[in-house]
Amino acid sequence: MISFNVPPCVGTELKYIKEAIESHKICGDGAFTKKCNAWLEERFQAQKVLLTTSGTTALDMAALLCELEEGDEVILPSYTFSSTATSAVLGGAKLVFVDIRPDTMNIDETKIEAAITERTKAIIAVHYAGVACEMDTITEIAKKHHLLVIEDAAQGVMSTYKGRALGTIGDFGCYSFHETKNYSMGEGGALVINNPEYNERAEILREKGTNRSKFFRGQVDKYTWVDFGDSYLPSELNAAYLWAQLCAADEINENRMASWKLYYEELKELGEEGKIQLPVIPKDCVHNAHMFYIKCKDLEERTRFIAYLKEEGIMAVFHYIPLHSAPAGLKYGRFAGEDIYTTAESERLVRLPMYYGLEPETVKFICEKIKAFYH
Ligand SMILES: *Cc1c(COP(=O)(O)O)cnc(C)c1O
């Protein structure tokens, strides 16, 4: 069976994990966490990056830092992972779902303004498949209406929009290092803080409500409980795994990109014949080959297609059931405007196997089978 995903492993992970163990420092914020934070800050020109226990908790932190309250509204796409929504719900905010664009599956920036009310507090932009949302428009709308912008860049590590790293454009950016993402630490993530005014509150929030980070920097002579907080520090064992991956970030990126391009090349003809639809990358976006998806004609064809691939030994999967139609989505949110593309496009999309180390021969084999299905 050809797996849909294989967790990335470059070979140096054990060496660094061993180092962490031998240093007798395996809890959070040790040498490896610091190295990962610094690497991400430097590489992405980010003001501040803090590793977290997951992409979900990075989103939770962002939502808490926005101080969302009961009755506030948050605008987001319905076509996304539950984490995007559940973080906003933490503070009691109401979810307002906006339709997506059919080309990138990202929130349709032209429909955001109509969804804004006097209760709107934030916009969450999800960069689906590591392809950027139209951030200039979103940033402009946010400025005009005094809204905060959270980028769910869980899938967008190493992607850019007009040359800027995803996650560094809004007020907050959230990365995921889950085993299904391009760079991994098993479970983990990072919060990017782009406005320094939030640095101190973020450190307190992440360190159980204490000013421990300040204490370690020698800025206060004892540390104490100063505000509401939680524990979002990953262990050094996980950070050591991520460090190995970050050291090989370009290699991982190039390897995935080669698979992505090969898929595209092999399937181009089917796309030109109108049998399937291939992904679209807008000209301002450099993506990270997080995902290779195609779109079938409709739900019925997709169901047959996935079953056919499975019989041929290929695991392909579809993605999110739109949140506005899910039980919790109905409870916490509403759809603003018309669902023209969210449901229809999500029913057509299939993700093909994509991981670091996927062999070109395997990609070619998968594409041969896809061509056979359509001819
Ligand atoms: C993976 C993912 C998350 C959650 O990340 P975890 O690290 O699994 O918590 C959030 N949003 C999107 C769009 C994702 O793909």
Mean pLDDT on 131-136: 98
Confidence (pLDDT) at 324:
97
What is the tens place of the pLDDT at every residue in 200-222? 999 999 999 999 888 888 998 88
CA angle in degrees (0–180, nearest 5) for 176-20-207: 55
pTM of the model: 0.97
What is the tens place of the pLDDT at every residue in 250-297? 999 999 999 999 999 999 999 999 999 999 999 999 999 999 999 999
Place of tokens 């999800």: 126
For ligand 1, residues with CB inside 6 Å are 54-56, 80-81, 83-84, 126, 152, 154-155, 176, 178, 189
Cβ proximity of 220 and 229 under 8 Å: no
- The residues that bridge with 292 in the sheet, in sequence order, are 352
Q: Which atom of ligand 1 is nearest to the CA of 176?
A: 7
Confidence (pLDDT) at 216:
86
**Phi (first) and psi of residue 317, to 5 degrees:** -135, 160
Mean pLDDT on 83-92: 92
What is the tens place of the pLDDT at every residue in 181-196? 999 999 999 999 999 9
Continuous H helices in 157-298: 199-206, 212-216, 236-247, 249-272
Cβ proximity of 190 and 52 under 8 Å: yes
Classify 127 as helix, strand or coil.
coil
Cβ proximity of 94 and 118 under 8 Å: no
Going from the Cα of 189 to the center of ligand 1, the distance in angstroms, rounded, reads 9
The percentage of the chain sitting over the pLDDT mark of 70, rounded to a whole number, equals 100
**DSSP assignments along 262-323, one per residue:** HHHHHHHHHHHTTSSB-----TTEE-----EEEE-SSHHHHHHHHHHHHHTTB--B--PPPG
Q: Which atom of ligand 1 is nearest to the CA of 181?
A: 1
